[in-house]
Amino acid sequence: MSKYQVVNPANGELVEEFPTATDDQIKDALSRSHSEFSSWRATPVEERTKALAKVAEIYSERAEELAEIIKLEMGKAVPEGKGEVALCSLIFKYFADNAQAFIEDEPLRGPKNADAFLLRKPVGSILGIMPWNFPYYQVARFAAPNLALGNTILLKHAPQCPRSAQAIEEIFHEAGVPQDAYINIYATNEQISDIILPDPRNQGVSLTGSERAGASVAAEAGKNLKKVVLELGGSDPYVVLDSEDVAKTAETLFKTRMGNTGQACNSPKRMIVMDDIYDDFVSSITEAAKATAPADPYADPEGLSPLSSVAAKDRFVEQVEDTVSEGATLLAGGQAYDGPGAYVQPVVLTDVKPGMRGYYEELFGPAVIVYKVSSDEEAVELANDTPFGLGSAVFSTDLERADRVGSQIDSGMVFLNGPEQTREFLPFGGVKRSGVGRELGPLAMDEFCNKQLYYKNR
Instruction: State in Å, rounded, how far the first CA of the chain is from the last one.
Output: 59
Q: Which residues are CB-contacts of 354 (< 8 A; sequence separation ≥ 6)?
A: 360, 385
Supply φ then ψ for residue 72, to 5 degrees. Answer: -75, -35
Strand order in the sheet with 125-129: 182-184, 152-156, 125-129, 202-208, 227-231, 435-436
Query: Do the Cβ atoms of 36 and 48 come closer than 8 Å?
Result: no
Residue type at 375? S
Report the length, in residues, of the chain: 458
CA 351 to chain centre: 29
Rounded CA separation 142/448 (Å)? 10
Supply φ then ψ for residue 371, to 5 degrees. Answer: -115, 145
- Which residues are designated catalytic? 231, 265
Beta bridge partners of 126: 153
Supply φ then ψ for residue 394, to 5 degrees. Answer: -130, 135
Judge residue 352's burial from the number of C-beta atoms within 10 Å of its C-beta, 0-12 exposed, 13-18 middle, 19 or more buried.
buried
Q: Which helix (H) or strand (E) holds 137?
A: helix 137-149
Q: Which residues are CB-contacts of 193 (< 8 A; sequence separation ≥ 6)?
A: 216, 217, 220
